[in-house]
Amino acid sequence: EAQVTQNPRYLITVTGKKLTVTCSQNMNHEYMSWYRQDPGLGLRQIYYSMNVEVTDKGDVPEGYKVSRKEKRNFPLILESPSPNQTSLYFCASSPTGTGSSGVGYTFGSGTRLTIV
């Protein structure tokens, strides 16, 4: 089944303890992206990647890091998490970064992250 898999689904952790949220897709998509979703603010883009070793900032990149060493994986790293990073996080992928395929993004099921 074609899908984007995120892990973990839920995580409660403490301020300052480094964490990684993994994202993997099995569709050979070039483009991958991370979002956070907060009530009243909607989905906001954190980082995106056009292909292996090519990443760039979205609208809210502060406090986050990403890497794209392999095409299928795009982990989100919080080096020193703070309570304002408590949110619902989504990873998504798409065949290309150009929109020429006419196909939108395939989203993962989400990771609910709580930082206390």
Partner 1 sequence: SQKIEQNSEALNIQEGKTATLTCNYTNYSPAYLQWYRQDPGRGPVFLLLIRENEKEKRKERLKVTFDTTLKQSLFHITASQPADSATYLCALNSGGYQKVTFGTGTKLQVIP
List residues near partner 1 by CB under 8 A.
Answer: 4, 31, 33, 35, 40-45, 48, 50, 56, 58-59, 90, 92, 94, 96-99, 102-110
Helical segments of 54-116, H only: none
Give the DSSP letter string of 47-68. Answer: EEEEETTEEEE-S--TT-EE--
Rounded to 5 degrees, what are φ and ψ at 85?
Answer: -95, 5
In the complex with partner 1, the residue whose CB is nearer, 85 or 93, is 93
In the complex with partner 1, the residue whose CB is nearer, 35 or 78, is 35
The pairing of beta strand 111-115 with beta strand 10-13: parallel
Work out how close the CB of 51 gets to partner 1 at its nearest, in angstroms, rounded to a whole number.
11
Work out how close the CB of 1 gets to partner 1 at its nearest, in angstroms, rounded to a whole number.
14
| Residue 60 CA to its chain's centroid (Å) | 12
Work out how close the CB of 75 gets to partner 1 at its nearest, in angstroms, rounded to a whole number.
17
In the complex with partner 1, the residue whose CB is nearer, 48 or 75, is 48
In the complex with partner 1, the residue whose CB is nearer, 8 or 16, is 8
Residue 68 and residue 51 in contact, taking contact as beta carbons nearer than 8 Å: yes
